[in-house]
Amino acid sequence: MIKLLINSSEPVEMSLTSFGGKPVQNSDGKFQWPTCGCCMLPMQFQAKILVNNELYQIFMCQNDPGMCDDWDANSDGNAVVVTKPIELEYAPAPSEGVTLREVEHSAKVVVVEGNDYEEARNEWAERNAVSLREVLGQVYGEPSWIQGDETPTCNECNNPMRFVAQLEQGADWKTEMNFGGGGVAYLFHCGCIGSAKFLWQC
Ligand SMILES: [Zn+2]
Ligand SMILES: [Zn+2]
């Protein structure tokens, strides 16, 4: 089974997977908009991915694209904020930096047969007669690496982290995420303290 993430025109909901738009926070005031450790400016919100009742909110530095190692799971050029949806509200964007994307849309999970992501997404697009770009990635399953296996290690327990999702750049080239041009991103988490990491390859 492969769980594909498919572009959807349904309205965006705070507690569900979506791309672009604004990140969410619980009303407990704990959320802090992530700042790039390299240029020290606020990062850009990319997407929130709901897996196992946790929202993985992905941020990447786009203040000077290519300069802050935003592809690296272990740099301070990207961040994943793990939020358990309780009482959600939108998080206000900081006044400086490149923080939001010019797009907002939801996504649905479609379960298909097979065990090869690349095959599954090609087949799905063909069967539905839509662009391959309508497939936004996958959740659970196995990562389909473009380069070699770069499964990150948890900083807390030193174990390899668990794969959560894989993301394509997006449905529209004008508003797509910047994974180096035709790149793919990978999201991982570790259950020990519930931390997450993000990286991309191209
Ligand atoms: Zn930066
Ligand atoms: Zn761990």
CA of 156, nearest ligand number: 2
Nearest bound ligand to CA 158?
2
Q: Please spell the DSSP secondary structure of the chain, one letter per residue.
A: -EEEEEEE-SPP-TTS-EEES--EEETTS-----B-TTT-SBPEEEEEEEETTEEEEEEE--SSTTSS-TT-TTSSSEEEEEE--SSEEEPPPPSSS----S-EEEEEEEEES-S-HHHHHHHHHHHTT--GGGEEEEESS----SSS--PPBPTTT-SBPEEEEEE-S-S-TTT---SSSS-EEEEEEETTTTEEEEEEE-
Task: Kindly give the distance from the C-alpha atom of residue 45 to the centroid of ligand 2, in angstroms, as a whole number.
Answer: 24
pTM, 2 dp: 0.97
| Structural domains of the chain, with CATH | 2-201 (2.30.320.10)
Protein residues with C-beta less than 5 angstroms from the ion ligand 1 = 36, 38-39, 61, 63, 68
Output the tens digit of pLDDT for each of the chain's 202 residues: 999 999 999 999 999 999 999 999 999 989 999 999 999 999 999 999 999 999 999 999 999 998 999 999 999 999 999 999 999 999 999 999 999 999 999 999 999 999 999 999 999 999 999 999 999 999 999 999 999 999 999 999 999 999 999 999 999 999 999 999 999 999 999 999 999 999 999 9
Distance 97 CA to ligand 2 centre (A): 31
Whole-number Å distance, alpha carbon 161 to ligand 2 midpoint, is 7
Strands 44-51 and 18-20: antiparallel
Instruction: Kindly give the distance from the C-alpha atom of residue 70 to the centroid of ligand 1, in angstroms, as a whole number.
Output: 8
User: Could you tell me the distance, in angstroms and rounded to a whole number, from the CA of residue 115 to the centre of ligand 2?
Assistant: 27
Q: Name the closest ligand to CA 78.
A: 1
